[in-house]
Structure 1
């Protein structure tokens, strides 16, 4: 009986593998036209809307608080201009002039701006829990709708009083966390393990795009047609996004009315391969190696075995060169599942040495500006996360057989180029522009 069971299990595995391979081939031909990629791009628009709604008050508040305006009631507004004017420039000036100006102290402005974070602190854990019970579609959709509608009412709330505006922003912060937290529950049933990074980075790139757009046009809108339109426009975009969200998004591909049978089979089969643990294994090993690498770096420095700059460059070189070689070799071991996993684990483990090298080097060269430099580092990381899935998808669509090989070769070339630049110009001492300025009293 045990032999028969083994045979049946083997046959079942072969059948599942053949179905998975067929679905993968079909999926690779579809590329970004698949339903799951459509879901990623809709989430990208949602994240774009949420990010603009998070930042719009910071952009508009200099125009909302105008200390040069004539004295008036703190929350009083002027009347709208008549529409009889034929001069467009004059009309724009009138629109700008009619926007209310409030007498808010710097302390009140700080409370208003930070009120969004008050709601954000309360919501992450409950939002994730509720999304797991009721489904991410309704949690994310409700959060986006509430935040967008409240954005439209911010000018009225500001005119009604500071207290109402603060309450509105707190509720808006809770709604925005519902979107940013609940959306990850969608990928549990929609993202094949081999595409999880690609899909989540496409969706997450909307935040970077939102930051760029709101910083680019927010001030211009405030200066031309008045600060209320910053909220009307970006709140309206969020409401329009809700019209896409509710009819097109489903929690499970099985129940989606527009998905093809091939894509549905591919997603279901890929998620049924018990690959969750295998997908997480490189990150677990990488987490352990990050700690060990930090301990080793401090040991070498404390015993004066190597200089600090030597440690930084050595660890960076190890963390870049060896994973690059491993990635380039991956296409030649794809026939062996165990070898592929071994290579992925080794790549993640060795690349963690960069955490004790270049990725912490900004603490050495500019301790005064660590927050700024870390933020700048994350900006470039998000940019890379937004570009890499698009480039990978382009290569795979061009050549389904050798596409991944080209992706790995390009990745290795970029890594080695960055390493060469760092080895030439890297420093580990505090730079002159980052030193504290001392004043000498005669």
Structure 2
């Protein structure tokens, strides 16, 4: 802890000067600081935050994607007219009895209507992303994230009612759910900027965001089982169960999670000092700073992140919303098999994202891999490998095992991007991490509602291998473009506009800065008394 003693004393001296040296101390980033010995604690407080963040994303994604499975049971596809196609352009129905006949639903919604319903979520989602990021940076991410999950859960409970009213009512409700959920990713980035030390970012952010894949893994098969049951007509249970689980999560989040280490009543002084000294972020002062919007939109690394985010989301959302439909109408899986095999790629993605984060941060801590190289390698694995798999899957025809293997591998390796561009917001501007995530995720939401519409227009009335081949090729080309732009123009250096305050402004706001330093000194004094 001698290193920490020196850091705190240096900061205290710099505050007494109240000059430009204070700015340097705020901007400093101690990436060489070692992890303290927390053996006295059963589990670190920041790990509890990460675990509940993981469960939070598991909940919101379960509520987001269960409609992709449920709509297969809701729609009567046999009532939708199909254009004629050649026999070698469609897969034959199974004859060995291993796959049961599909269960038809009550609603006569064609592919275009289904595409609008599935994509309508993103019409609302795109609006609140930048709002959620800025609110999280200014007022704190805890409450913003909480209300996002809360309203998503409450509105999810209303989906069955809206479905029976009309497809227009369901579309409007999904827009509202998108509005509620749009604040979650940006506000979580705001919290991670306060809780996660730099050399733990890849593995921790990968773990938290991997909750999305976990939600898919659990919701797809569970939704499939519920849709196949006769209780309450089957498919409505998929929304009642996951909406209820979201409300339960909200209770634990509000009780156990606090905005920052400095405001947490149960965190150990040692862990608090370790996090605060490694981050060097004066959030009390930052709340008063304006957004450097001009500098952000003229930043080349920001545009590299944006390109990667948009192109990633095209492939990701396309597979997420359309894969169950492909499994049913092309490969002829029943609802149970469909939900299981649709979830399998995201189980692999979950594992890949967590393992990749651990490997990347381990190599960075040992000095064997620079941050910029780490981001480029992880992102290339997450983009180029799925691109290749999609092209191969486009020509795998009716070979069910080969198609499933390629799609599982492609989607799974896409999880490496959580150690790639998804960390770049924190790398280049941790003070504005939530805002940056809000901006890029806002634009990257466009593929969420455009992709289903494009897919629906291509395959509408003609569910054939050749039509789906076009869809796969579009996604593959977009993957290639996105990562090529990213690896050329990305940077891992902190951008100058991350700290635009002047020394005179630090003096004017000296009370906030002094409070931060005083807290750090008090933490160190407590640690000394415990030795």
Distance 2:274 2:410 in 1: 36
Q: Which residue of 1 aligns with 2:149?
A: 144
Judge conservation of contact 1:65–1:104 (CA < 8 Å) in 2. yes
Matched, 1:59 2:69: yes
Distance 1:214 1:51 in 2: 8
Matched, 1:194 2:199: yes
- 1:37 is matched with which residue: 30, 37, 47? 47
By relative contact order (CA 8 Å, sep 6+), the higher-ranking structure is: 2
Distance 1:114 1:435 in 2: 21
Judge conservation of contact 2:205–2:418 (CA < 8 Å) in 1. no
Q: Which residue of 1 aligns with 2:252?
A: 244
Matched, 1:12 2:45: no
Stretch of structure 1 that moved more, 355-364 or 227-236: 355-364
Matched, 1:107 2:140: no
1:199-214 residue pairs with structure 2 within 5 A? 199-214=204-219
Distance 1:101 1:190 in 2: 48
Deviations 1:291-337 (A, max 9, x none): xxxxxxxxxxxxxxxxxxxxxxxxxxxxxxxxx9xx87975xxxxxx
Three-state SS of the structure 1 residue aligned to 2:182 is helix
Deviations 1:117-146 (A, max 9, x none): 211222222221122222211111011000
Q: Which residue of 1 aligns with 2:453?
A: none
Three-state SS of the structure 2 residue aligned to 1:36 is helix
Q: Which residue of 2 aligns with 1:24?
A: 35
Distance 1:177 1:355 in 2: 24
Distance 1:113 1:188 in 2: 32
Judge conservation of contact 1:362–1:370 (CA < 8 Å) in 2. no
Matched, 1:382 2:415: yes
Larger Rg: 1
Q: Which residue of 2 aligns with 1:74?
A: none
Deviations 1:170-191 (A, max 9, x none): 0101211211221110011111
Distance 2:176 2:260 in 1: 29
1:278-289 residue pairs with structure 2 within 5 A? none
Judge conservation of contact 1:20–1:269 (CA < 8 Å) in 2. no
Three-state SS of the structure 2 residue aligned to 1:26 is coil
Q: Which residue of 1 aligns with 2:121?
A: 116
Matched, 1:262 2:270: yes
Distance 1:146 1:361 in 2: 37
1:243 deviates by: 0.6
Judge conservation of contact 1:23–1:262 (CA < 8 Å) in 2. no
Gaps in structure 2 of 5+ consecutive residues: 1-5, 14-24, 80-102, 283-300, 306-358, 396-402, 420-467, 471-531
Deviations 1:14-71 (A, max 9, x none): 999xx999983323x36881111101110111110111111111111122223679xx
Q: Which residue of 2 aligns with 1:337?
A: none
Gaps in structure 1 of 5+ consecutive residues: 1-7, 70-96, 275-283, 289-323, 332-339, 387-433, 437-442
TM-score calculated relative to the size of structure 2:
0.47
TM-score calculated relative to the size of structure 1:
0.56
Distance 2:210 2:382 in 1: 24
Three-state SS of the structure 1 residue aligned to 2:58 is helix
Distance 1:358 1:114 in 2: 24
1:193 deviates by: 1.3
Distance 1:247 1:11 in 2: 34
- Relative distance call for 1:349 and 1:162 in structure 2 (3 A) is closer
Q: Which residue of 2 aligns with 1:321?
A: none
Distance 2:376 2:127 in 1: 33
Matched, 1:175 2:208: no
Distance 1:356 1:23 in 2: 29
1:360 deviates by: 3.9
1:211 deviates by: 1.1
Distance 2:188 2:7 in 1: 36
- Relative distance call for 1:361 and 1:247 in structure 2 (3 A) is closer
1:358-437 residue pairs with structure 2 within 5 A? 360=384, 367=391, 376-382=409-415
- Relative distance call for 1:330 and 1:257 in structure 2 (3 A) is closer
The aligned length equals 294
- Relative distance call for 1:173 and 1:193 in structure 2 (3 A) is same
1:114 deviates by: 1.3
1:209 deviates by: 1.0
Three-state SS of the structure 1 residue aligned to 2:258 is coil
1:264 deviates by: 1.2
Distance 1:357 1:255 in 2: 39
Deviations 1:402-440 (A, max 9, x none): xxxxxxxxxxxxxxxxxxxxxxxxxxxxxxxx999xxxx
